Chain A
Amino acid sequence: MSANFAERLAELPQYLSAHVVLSMCALLAGIVLSIPLGIQAARRPRLAAATLNAASVIQTIPGLALLALMVPLLGGRIGFLPAFIALMLYSVLPILRNTIVGLQGIEPQIREAARGIGLTDRQRLWQIELPLALPVIVAGLRTATVWVVGAATLATPVGATSLGNYIFAGLQTRNWLSVLFGCVFAAGLAIVLDQAIRLLEIAARDRRRGLAIGVGVFLAVLVAASIAPRFMTPGQAGAVAAGESPGAAQGIAGQTVTIGSKAFTEQYILGALMQRRLEEAGARVVRRDNLGSTIAFDALRSGEIDVYIDYTGTIWATVMNRSEPAGRYRMFTEMSAWLWAEHGILTLGRLGFENAYGFAVSREFAEAQGVDSLEDLSAIAAELTVGGDPEVFARSEWTATRDVYGLGPARTRSMDNTFLYSAARDGQVDVITAYTTDGRIAAFDLTVLDDPRGVLPPYDAVILVSPQAARRPGLAAVLGPLVGAIDDDAMREANRRVDLDGDTPAGAAAWLGERIAEQ
């Protein structure tokens, strides 16, 4: 527990500073965009209606969806930019609406008095209208601040570092301390920024220059402290590159390699494993964890990440949009050829294990219902509840299984992968979609049902390399030895160590690395 706490604490400077920079940049841009727009719109009812409608529509898009949409809109870019744009758009509505409402709410008499005694348009705006509307505008700004700081935790799946990294990683690895870290610091940051803005408003209202300067200095220090580490990293990288390392001969030493991973335990472990090997070869590694499934692929295609692990069946179904079944070798060969021809993506090879989608039930359920294959489920489909991870019910694996085995009448429930296995163990759902390498299948005494008609495609884990990185021979040389080196048992054991024993992904990767070396 205390080791876990120390590790989380060590991550804090990076996550918190990235969160501060991301949310403050988005808010600042939101202010710069919304207040002038609101001033213009307050005088033009039609512009006001149009801008408010547009901002309201953006606001109704769930935060995670808005963030995810930015990735394809920016041509597959991940990281700061899509998160920044989405959060900025998110901040527009409250600031814009309150600017318009605040300015329109000023009594006509006061406006007329200001004109009548001889203030110019600009003087009326700055000396009378904005000061009078300020409390309403600030209320909007505070709402936007709380929203943006909260929504920034959702930036993790699009590859932007934030306090959300604690939450997403913690959720996937059942590390509740990590989730708690993310929640507490995100909430704390929201409260601190909210209060800072409140104090600035008081300072403006009561004309307390000292207070304004104090809060200003605090915010400046917060931002400076958050930005500073970014300028320090290249220096440290240089220091590492200067040292001689065994990988120098392979041409990877001193280079930066960006490793992507999706948001589940196995991906974290494999990311850490690749990181170990690359760092041993002298490369500088940047991790982009917790990417959404298709976001990881888009990021690889555009070169935002250099390498990540995906699964043949996933590429087949969700990237190539193929729905017909195919055998293991044919699928791998076709997929590799297609990725190379279409996108210039290099398939380095299969790691050796398969992480298939399977359907699992508790042994208790299997024995009581006399079920051991998917075919046995059709008779009791109407009484079944099927639990699945958030994406599976939209994927062809489920629709094909449902149609072939007559599971249409069953109820479906989506939940995070973390909760699926215990839900099946505790009888909260009858059947779950399970990753076949997950250590909890054995630990919770679950049974994976047979697929006699071969509906579910194979899911061989493969190393994919971006078009740019494919031209760097050193990368293939360092990661090549992983091909064929990890079998189902090894992967399942590594996953189990994290999910059940509370080991870290880095710890499990170290174990896996040693095991590979012994072979």
Chain B
Amino acid sequence: MIDPARPVLDIRAVCKTYPGGVEAVRRVSLQVARGELLALAGESGCGKTTVLKMINRLEDASGGSIFYEGEDIAGRDPVALRREIGWVMQGDGLFPHLTVRENVAIIPRLLGWTAGEISNRVIEMLELVQLPVNAYGDRYPAELSGGQRQRVGFARALAGRPDLLLMDEPFSALDPITRDSLQQEFRSLQAELGFSAVMVTHDMAEALIMADRIAVMADGEIVQHGTPSDLLANPASDYVSGLLETPRRQMRAIRELGA
């Protein structure tokens, strides 16, 4: 059924024009291969979050089309589509009135799994994000640290076994040490489970460290698209160089200290 060679996600010339004529996204085309992490980078207001939200139809495209697992999403029920695609957001987006266990169980429950399947999946997912269910399952989000909450956010998004995970600035609210360890953990989680991911970030260093490929956006368009080393070797414009300047300067400074 699933062709491993076919991209999980195929975005073809999508546009988003808001009433009043503001063009947030202009003819963006992207593909995401199986198991790949694509970063959408750029300054705020460049349209990267809008692209992300069009993938699970939180926003509908004004033009172009998006294929998920070979199927045009325009013909799909948005709610069913969203249950198949994982969603992680800035902060954590956990439901404060539900326990950790209930937050993680919510998508399997919506998908109609049996109680036994749900319970096993919750235990498995919480193990994976290193929050054993015995210690953490009955806590409420307010009783967890920021890093722990974000881990529960990942566990919730991945509990329904999605092929694709969408992430909107997932690490930006965390302190640097927690951020770093969670970034590492995320890559090993992805290697283990094999899902594909699209991550929106304004932090170029994060994109360089984590992503397989990076699409840099400005003014609703993709201005450069390639692997991290492509971007570092051949920035296509002053804008891209400017975005790369901060991580470069930090790298140089650290190197000088070590020398």
Contacts and interface: CB of A to CB of B under 8 A. Distances in A.
A115 B89 contact: no
Given A110-B95, A123-B110, A117 B83 contact: yes
A189 interface: no
Contacts of B15: none
Given A117-B83, A118-B87, A120-B79, 5 more contacts: A113-B95, A116-B93, A117-B82, A117-B157, A128-B97
B83 A118 contact: yes
Interface residues of B, number: 24
A114 B95 CA distance: 8
B96 interface: yes
Given A117-B82, A118-B79, A120-B79, A112 B89 contact: yes
A119 B84 CA distance: 12
Contact of B89 (A116, A128, A205): A116
Report which residue of B80, B81, B84, B87 has the largest number of chain A beta carbons within 10 angstroms of its beta carbon. B87
Nearest to A115: B58
B117 to A, nearest CB: 18
A114 B106 CA distance: 10
B213 interface: no
A109 B166 CA distance: 15
B139 to A, nearest CB: 15
A112 B83 contact: no
Contacts of A132: 95-97
Nearest to B84: A118
Interface of A: 109-110, 112-120, 123, 128, 131-132, 205
Given A112-B58, A112-B89, A113-B87, A118 B110 contact: yes
Interface in B110-142: 110
Contacts of B96: 110, 132
A461 to B, nearest CB: 65
Nearest to B82: A118
Contact of A118 (B80, B93, B94): B80
A453 B29 CA distance: 100
Interface string B53-97: 000101000000000000000000001111110110111011111
Contacts of A119: 79, 110
B249 to A, nearest CB: 33
Q: Is the interface of A mostly helix, strand, loop or mixed?
A: helix
B34 interface: no
Given A110-B95, A110-B96, A117 B107 contact: yes
Interface string B204-221: 000000000000000000
Contacts of A131: 97
Contacts of B83: 117-118
A275 B166 CA distance: 80
Interface string B146-188: 0000000000110000000010000000000000000000000
Interface in B218-246: none
A109 B89 contact: yes
A39 B166 CA distance: 30
Contacts of B90: 109
Contacts of B166: 116
A118 B156 CA distance: 12
A112 B157 CA distance: 14
A412 B87 CA distance: 72
B95 to A, nearest CB: 6
Contacts of A110: 93, 95-96
A116 B58 contact: yes
Nearest to B86: A117
A44 to B, nearest CB: 18
A92 to B, nearest CB: 26
A115 to B, nearest CB: 6
23 contacts: A110-B93, A110-B95, A110-B96, A112-B89, A112-B93, A113-B89, A115-B82, A116-B56, A116-B82, A116-B89, A116-B93, A116-B166, A117-B82, A117-B83, A117-B107, A117-B157, A118-B83, A118-B87, A118-B110, A119-B79, A123-B110, A128-B97, A132-B95
A452 B157 CA distance: 93
Contacts of A114: 95
Contact of B87 (A116, A120, A123, A128): A116
A382 to B, nearest CB: 68
Nearest to A114: B95
Nearest to A132: B97
